[in-house]
Chains A and B, each alone.
Chain A
Amino acid sequence: MSLLEVKNLEVRFAMRKEELVALRDVSFKVEKGERLGIVGESGAGKSVAAFSILNLISKPGYISAGEIIFEGQDLTKLSPQQMSQIRGNRISMVFQDPMMTLNPVLTIGTQMTEALHAHQDISKEDAKQRAIETLAQVHIPSAATRFDQYPHELSGGMRQRVVIAIALITKPPLIIADEPTTALDVTIQAEIMDLMMELCRTSEVGLILITHDLGVISQMTQRAIVMYAGRIVEEGDTKDIINDAYHPYTHGLMDALPQKTTPGQRLNQIKGVMPALSSIPDGCAFNPRCPLVADICRTTIPDYSNIGSTRVACHKAAPRGS
């Protein structure tokens, strides 16, 4: 049994005039101790996918179809009380914006020990000890002093490390991290990635890592998902996604990397912009921007086909250069 299996997930936003479909037919698995990466265009639905696993989609959003099986339980069927026993305990989340996790009027220490007390029977002193240890683990200098400080007294990067510490403190089997190191410099990013990696390996913690840093995806994850306009367009072993992708959007993404252009030159953009949810074109959602577009792309949504370890949704799916 997989640690997590998301099956045909659909998420909608009930807007005043219309229903917007933010996620369509999203399916993927995470095995125990496996590290899965999610990349894709800003607005493609990566965060919505992560939030819906924890049932954190707020109104007007709701899960309109699909199952989320975690440790054998369908999370979409749980009551809010049951869900709060899973959140922060069995599954922890690190958000893009640290202030989504941190309460500005409570000290770092209070927030960390609260997470422990909510789920575990632990004395006040032990909780404090654990909190300070965990802060040191994520390389917060003078952890004991920081324990008594408020979020606004820390730099952006330090706040994010505190959030990561809060996610780690209950030792959950699954961590969902949404752009966890975006605010950090590369030396600290490297250390935190090492730390997360070690946790995943030694304690068999599963990781869903959302980031637009393809270097991080390449180093951290075994499998990767590429999303575009609410749909998974390609999924495969990370090294295949990076080196031998089949989907034209994935190709465009790789080409846009600064490393692919001589310094000082204009970077390779994908022409156009991703459509708004309210105006997704017929057929393949990528078709107005796609260099390989054919007539069928404008009328028919492409199904998934399997090529080796890769699954891709494109009528013209082909390796690069063919």
Chain B
Amino acid sequence: MAGNRLIKVDNLYKEFPIHKGFLDQLVIEKGRFVRKHESVKALSGVKLEVLKGESLCVVGESGCGKSTLARVVMGLIRPTQGEVLYQDQRIDNMGFNELLPYRKKMQMIFQNPYASLNPRMTVRQTLEEPISFHNPRLSEAEVNERVVGVTESVGVDPAWSDRYPHEFSGGQRQRISIARALAVDPEFIVADEPISALDVSIQAQVLNLLMNAREQRALTYLFITHDLAVVEHFGSRVAVMYLGTLCELAPTKKLFATPRHPYTQALLSAIPKLNQSSSDYIKLKGEVPTPVNLPSGCVFHGRCVHANERCKQEIPELKTYNDISVACHAVEEKRI
């Protein structure tokens, strides 16, 4: 397994402190004032591996920690606890200079093509910058050659290189962001909802582009999206997250055919389908819990119809059944 592994994320925790005024932090406990620091538990013990050449899709509720996971893997933020390994090399604790070679191998595409391109840089400048930065020895002509090549590969006319981002539509901008990510010849791309803002026909263009790049460059993707139809199409495996934890990890076909975790089941049932006006999805019971005060036991228990006493107390471990991994007591006890 290890030889085939590109990324390993081990027992990752990330907390964001909540900044409150001093007085707001005071709470009375056993008749005395105590100062309490609250924090958002964005990731609570995530373990997963990304295999070479695969497209691992990450789905889950808004706020469940998908972007945080992406940012920790990319080294943009440090985890509170746990490790990130790139080909068995620990990278989460590296300094800026040490991390540089990995910054070249790992590229990120952000959700919002409006915010992620610098409005004062032309397309050419946007693409030249990372190429020259990571390849300081290339001559100007060589850099230019690369820029032209990568612009063409994403279907943007190189004649437009001297235009600014505001002159492009959302889809074109997203192609430029992809071109920027591909420009430095990465091995691994983290895409955080790269197509959410695009219409269906441009989504098709961008997805085809990412699939072409996957084939031509043997790329590995960590792909975050809300669109389950896209997951079904693009993903080799799917990781389902809920409230900072991984609840299910399975090959795409298996996950869609036989979702095991109750949250996965609810998620798949809620996909809006054409010509289905009713809202006959699995409605989750209870309140959406908060990542500030995590529920005890299984983080999903308050919303789960299969929850029992054990679920309220004991955190379920991610257990592997053939090629499917599920963190659920009911599945383990063969109740579902």
CA distance A212 to B229 in the complex (A): 13
> A41 is contacted by which of B67, B199, B267 (Cβ under 8 Å)?
B199
A26 at the interface (CB under 8 A from B): no
> Could you tell me if A187 and B275 are in contact, using CB atoms closer than 8 angstroms?
no
Complex contacts, A184 vs chain B, CB 8 Å = 62, 226
User: Does A267 sit within 8 A of B, measured CB to CB?
Assistant: yes
Report yes or no: A186 in contact with B207, Cβ–Cβ below 8 A. Answer: no
Q: Are B200 and A257 in contact (CB under 8 A)?
A: yes
Q: How far is the CA of A258 from the CA of B230 in the complex (A)?
A: 6
Residues of A within 8 A of B292 (CB): 142, 145
Tell me if B315 counts as interface (CB < 8 A to partner A). no
- Return chain B residues, CB-CB under 8 Å to A148: 20, 24
Q: Is B158 an interface residue (CB 8 A)?
A: no
* CB-based contact B201/A183 at 8 Å: no
Which of B24, B60, B67, B292 neighbours the largest number of chain A CB atoms within 10 Å of its CB? B292
Q: Are A153 and B272 in contact (CB under 8 A)?
A: no
- Among candidates B204, B211, B233, B272, residue contacting A186 with C-beta atoms closer than 8 Å: B272
Interface-side segment among A109-117, A166-174, A188-196:
A188-196
Q: A215 and B201 in contact (CB under 8 A), knowing A157-B63, A187-B61, A267-B208?
A: no
Whether A182 contacts B60 by the Cβ 8 Å rule is no
A258–B61 CB distance below 8 A: no
From A60-68, A200-208, A269-277, the one touching the partner chain is: A269-277
Q: Which one, B60, B199, B234, B276, contacts A212 given CB within 8 A?
A: B199
Bound-complex Cα distance A155 to B229 (A): 23
Could you say which of A139, A242, A264, A274 has the most chain B C-beta atoms within 10 Å of its C-beta?
A264
Q: How many A-B residue pairs have CB under 8 A?
A: 167
> Is A264 a contact of B203 with CB atoms below 8 Å?
no
Instruction: Assign chain B's interface to a size class.
Output: 35 or more
B60 touches A41 (CB 8 A): no
Q: Enumerate B174-199 residues with CB–CB distance to A below 8 Å.
A: 193, 196-199
Contacting residues of chain B (188-228) with chain A, CB-CB under 8 angstroms: 193, 196-205, 207-208, 211, 226-228
Partner of B287, one of A141, A186, A197, A257: A141
Quick check: B226 and A183 within 8 Å, CB to CB?
yes
* Cross-chain contact A274 with B67 (CB below 8 angstroms): no
Contact A155 B277 (CB under 8 A): no
Chain B: which residue is nearest A252 at the CB level?
A: B201
- Give the nearest-CB partner of B156 in chain A: A273
Interface size on A, residues (CB 8 A): 63
Residue of B63, B169, B276 near A42 (CB, 8 A) is: B169
- Distance between A95 CB and nearest chain B CB, rounded to angstroms: 12
Q: What B residues does A256 contact at CB under 8 A?
A: 200-201, 203-204
Decide: B226 and A273 in contact? CB cutoff 8 A.
Answer: no
State the Cβ distance, A197 to closest chain B Cβ, in Å: 8
Q: What CA separation (Å) do A183 and B229 show in the bound complex?
A: 15
B275 with A188: CB separation less than 8 A: no
Q: How far is the CA of A273 from the CA of B205 in the complex (A)?
A: 10
| In the complex, residue of chain A having the shortest beta-carbon distance to the beta carbon of B256 | A263
Query: Is A39 positioned at the interface, with any CB of B under 8 Å from its CB?
Result: yes
Which residues of A are found within 8 Å of B279, using beta-carbon distances? 190, 193-194, 197, 219
User: A40 interface residue, CB < 8 Å from B?
Assistant: yes
Contacts of B133 in A (CB 8 A): none
Among B67, B226, B232, the one with the most A-chain Cβ atoms within 10 Å of its Cβ is: B226
B232 touches A263 (CB 8 A): yes
A257 to chain B, nearest CB (A): 6
A259 CB to nearest B CB, Å? 6
Q: A158-B63, A269-B204 are in contact. Are A187 and B276 (CB under 8 A)?
A: no
Cβ-defined contact, B273 with A179, below 8 A: no
**B229 A43 Cβ-Cβ under 8 A:** no
Question: Which residues in A have their C-beta under 8 angstroms from that of B197?
Answer: 42, 96, 179, 182
Bound together, the chains give a CA A266 to CA B203 distance in angstroms of: 12
From the candidates A155, A242, A268, name the one contacting B62 in the complex (CB within 8 A): A155
User: B18 contacts A149, CB within 8 Å?
Assistant: yes
Give Cα distance in the complex from A259 to B275, angstroms: 13
Query: Which residues in A have their C-beta under 8 angstroms from that of B4?
Result: none
A182 to B203, alpha carbons, bound, how many Å? 13
Contacts of B111 in A (CB 8 A): 156, 183
Binary contact readout B284-304 vs A (1 if CB under 8 angstroms, 0 otherwise) = 100111101100000000000
Is B201 a contact partner of A269 (Cβ separation < 8 A)?
A: yes
> Is A239 positioned at the interface, with any CB of B under 8 Å from its CB?
yes
| Contact with A187, one of B16, B67, B266 (Cβ below 8 angstroms) | B266
1/0 per residue, CB under 8 A from A, across B1-29: the answer is 00000000000000010101000100000
**C-alpha spacing A258/B16, complex, angstroms:** 37
B40 CB contacts on chain A under 8 angstroms = 153
In the assembled complex, which residues on chain A have CB atoms less than 8 Å from the CB atom of B138? Answer: none
Instruction: Assess whether A239 is in contact with B275, with CB atoms less than 8 Å apart.
Output: yes
B159 at the interface (CB under 8 A from A): no
B270 within 8 A of A: yes
Task: Give the most central of A243, A258, A263: most B CB within 10 Å.
Answer: A258
7 extra A-B contacts, CB within 8 A, seeds A219-B272, A267-B207:
A42-B197, A155-B63, A156-B111, A158-B62, A182-B226, A187-B267, A189-B270
Query: Which 7 A/B pairs are nearest by Cβ-Cβ distance?
Result: A157-B62, A215-B272, A155-B63, A43-B169, A267-B204, A212-B199, A256-B204
Residues of chain B having any CB pair with chain A under 8 Å:
16, 18, 20, 24, 40, 59-64, 67, 111-112, 114, 167, 169-172, 193, 196-205, 207-208, 211, 226-230, 232-234, 252-253, 266-267, 270-277, 279, 281, 283-284, 287-290, 292-293
11 A-B contacts (beta carbon < 8 Å): A42-B169, A42-B171, A42-B197, A156-B67, A185-B59, A187-B267, A215-B273, A257-B200, A259-B229, A264-B233, A273-B171
